[in-house]
Amino acid sequence: MDGQELKEARLAKDWTQQQAAEKLGVTQAYLSMLERGRRVLPRVLARKAVQVLDAPVTALPLGEGLAVFPALTPALATGGSDKTRSDLAALGYPGFAHLRGRRARRNPAEVLLRALGEPDLNSRVVEGLPWLAQRYADMDWDWAVQTAKLNDRQNRLGFVATLAYDLTKTVADKDERGTRKLKEYVAVLERSRLAREDTLCHDSLTEAERRWLRVNRTDEAKHWNLLTDMKAENLSYAGN
C-alpha cells in the first residue's frame, strides 16, 4: 500500500483525514504526509490500514527483501506445504476452508511467489496456486514478475498464470479487468521464458516420473518447460 492507495481506501470509507487518523492511531498531519508521499508508510501501519479501512488484501505489504534475493536462495522457499496451505486458507481458498481463521492474511503475490520458490509442495497445495492467481488477478504483477525472474521461477509463474487465465473462461461472473491483466502478464513472462527443464514445485520426482511426464504433460506444460500434468479443467474448483 502506498500513499495514494491509502487515500483511496479512506475516501472509499467516506472518512475525513481526521476520522481515519483517529482510527489508525496517528495524527492528521502525519496521515496527510503519508497520503501525499511525503513519508513512507510503515509496514505495521500499512497492515493496520488494510484492516481498518477494509482495503483489498492485495494492498497488504509485500515480503521485505523478497525481490532482491540472489537466485534460488533458501529465503524464497520457506515454510513448505503447511505454511502455504495456511496462507491459502487465510485468503479464502475453498480447498482448505477448514483451516480459515488460523493465520493472518498475507499479500497474495507474496504467498504465490514464496510457494513457487519451494522445491517440493504437496500436490493439493500446488493445485491452489492457479486459484490464487485468478482470484487475486489484481495483485502486483510487476513485483511478482521481477521476483520470479530474480529467482529463475518465471516458467513456474508463467504456467500458473496461464492456468489462471484458462480458469477465467469457466467463470460465469467474469472479472474482465482481471482477465485482461492475466493475459497481459502471461505475455510479459513469455518474453523471459527459460529453456531449461523444471518442475511445478515437485523437484523430488523420480527419473521414471520425469520420463512419463515428458511424454504425457499438456502442451501448456511443455511450452513452459515444466514437468507436470496439471490442467485447468481438472482442478476441483474450475467453473466455480
Query: Distance between CA atoms of 207 and 10, rounded to whole angstroms?
Result: 55
In this predicted model, what pLDDT tens digit does every residue of 25-60 receive, in sequence order? 999 999 999 999 998 888 889 889 988 998 888 888
Q: What is the pLDDT of residue 102?
A: 58
Nearest Cα neighbor of 159 from 233, 221, 230 is: 221
Helices (H) and strands (E) in the chain, counts: 13, 2
| 201, 121 contact by CB (below 8 A) | yes
Query: Distance between CA atoms of 207 and 193, rounded to whole angstroms?
Result: 24
Average pLDDT (134-141) is 94
Cα 217 → chain centroid: 24
Nearest Cα neighbor of 159 from 175, 150, 148 is: 148
In this predicted model, what pLDDT tens digit does every residue of 56-97 receive, in sequence order? 888 888 865 454 444 444 444 456 888 899 999 999 999 888
Average pLDDT (187-203) is 96
Query: Distance between CA atoms of 151 and 143, rounded to whole angstroms?
Result: 12
List, in order of start, the domains of the chain with CATH numbers.
Answer: 3-55 (1.10.260.40), 66-234 (no CATH)
- φ, ψ of residue 120 to 5 degrees: the values are -145, 125
